[in-house]
Amino acid sequence: MNVLLTGGAGYIGSHTALELLRAGHDVVIADDFSNSSESSVRAIEKETGKKVRLYACDVSDALKCKMIFEENKFDAVIHFAGYKAVGESVAKPLMYFRNNFLSAIAVLESMLEHGVNLFVFSSSATVYGTCQDMPLVESSSLGVTSPYGRTKLVIEQMCEDVCKANPDFKAVMLRYFNPIGADASLAVGENPKGIPNNLMPYLCKVASGELDHLSVFGKDYDTPDGTCIRDFIHISDLASGHMAAVEKSGSLPKGISCFNLGTGKGTSVDELVSIFNSVNGNKVKFVYAGRRPGDVPVSYADVSKANEVLGWKASHSLEDACATAYAYQMKCSEGRH
């Protein structure tokens, strides 16, 4: 299949590109490099020995987006492009609404115009809002806890309407839990610009000496060790989930389908830090700090739907995720000094 990956140079997009190319699919990437770089695309090409057609542009620019569809024939689009920092979205909601909504609209319009009927969307477990019934199933109640989360939820709803109006259209919402780690080749990985917001990249930068210590946000939650619980999933598993969605799309019903992509297992922040230390031979300096506003105490997935319908299941360990995340961080740090 020939698949357009918007935001394909980013953390999740680049790993998905690797999986698709390794499986023999063709990939076109459109990315404005606002939170990624062209070097990831070159690394993907080097690792797979395959050429990737690259458009260095912002797909929320409808004219540029149309041009991509005029110059290629796609079987599917995986839409990763979008801003993703929760805290930043609270400070700059309109920036998030403009970018995330306009890019989704431009891509969907171009797809309809060119008869491309499979849209896979980079959604998030954040669409479950403050729902406390664990594990989260696709039919759990939905809600919004940040402008970022609102963009994910509203784009899911937009897709539902687009499907109703276009009976041949299929939209697959992939609700990610907490992706961590890097591809075994270390060709690509996670190395956010600036101070990381998410736990694993922060942990890696403390371990590599770039940051002094980790603040563990909250030790007084109603969980066994008092820290939050999340469903951390290896990025390579998340990437293979996208491939399963594309490859199994023929058997999906027309209209919208939603899938959780997680492991089904909750791990606390304290547990993750100790796995990281034992795998990497580190003793990461950390302090317990107050709760971070907006954090839900516990979040983990029921993954039976993706398992049954897509034939997909996470298989990599958290040990592997911690080892590759840190190895990729060290590779980047060495490159810089």
Nearer to ligand WQD, 228 or 310 (CB): 228
Mapping DSSP onto H, E and C, the string for 197-259 reads CCHHHHHHHHHCCCCCCEEEECCCCCCCCCCCEECEEEHHHHHHHHHHHHHCHHHCCCEEEEE
Tell me, what DSSP letter sits at residue 101? I
* Binding flag, residue 223, ligand WQD (CB under 6 A): no
User: β-strand 76-79 against 229-230: which pairing, if any?
Assistant: unpaired
Report which residue's Cβ sits closest to ligand WQD: 228
Q: Answer whether 172's CB lies under 8 Å from 260's CB.
A: no
Q: Nearest distance from residue 196's CB to ligand WQD, in Å?
A: 7
Q: Nearest distance from residue 66's CB to ligand WQD, in Å?
A: 28
Q: Nearest distance from residue 287's CB to ligand WQD, in Å?
A: 10
Q: Answer whether 160's CB lies under 8 Å from 167's CB.
A: no
* Binding flag, residue 333, ligand WQD (CB under 6 A): no
Stretch that binds ligand WQD, among 64-72, 73-81, 192-200, 253-261 (CB under 6 A): 192-200
Stretch that binds ligand WQD, among 110-118, 133-141, 191-199, 321-329 (CB under 6 A): 191-199
Between CA 160 and CA 105 the distance in angstroms is 13
Judged by DSSP in three states, 106 sits in helix
Q: Name the residues annotated as catalytic.
A: 148
- Residue 160's nearest CA partner among 126, 114, 127, 125 is 127
Stretch that binds ligand WQD, among 25-33, 186-194, 209-217, 303-311 (CB under 6 A): 209-217
Write the binding mask 161 to 180 for ligand WQD: x where contact by CB under 6 A, - elsewhere: -----------------x--
**Sign (positive/negative) of CA torsion 154, 120, 231, 99?**
negative
Give the H or E element holding residue 121: strand 118-124
* Binding flag, residue 316, ligand WQD (CB under 6 A): no
# of chain residues touching ligand WQD (CB under 6 A): 18
Residue 129 φ/ψ region, left for φ over 0, alpha for ψ in the -120 to 50 degree band, beta for the rest: left
Stretch that binds ligand WQD, among 23-31, 215-223, 238-246, 303-311 (CB under 6 A): 215-223
* Bridge partner residues of 172 (DSSP): 120, 257
Q: What are the two backbone dihedrals, phi and then psi, of residue 334, each rounded to the nearest 5 degrees?
A: -65, -40
* Of the residues 64, 248, 292, 313, which one makes contact with ligand WQD according to CB under 6 A: 292
| Interface positions, 112-151, toward ligand WQD (CB under 6 A) | 124, 126
* Binding flag, residue 228, ligand WQD (CB under 6 A): yes
| Interface positions, 249-288, toward ligand WQD (CB under 6 A) | 269
| Interface positions, 33-92, toward ligand WQD (CB under 6 A) | 84, 86
- Name the residues that contact ligand WQD, by CB under 6 A: 84, 86, 124, 126, 178, 197-199, 202, 214-217, 228, 230, 269, 292, 295
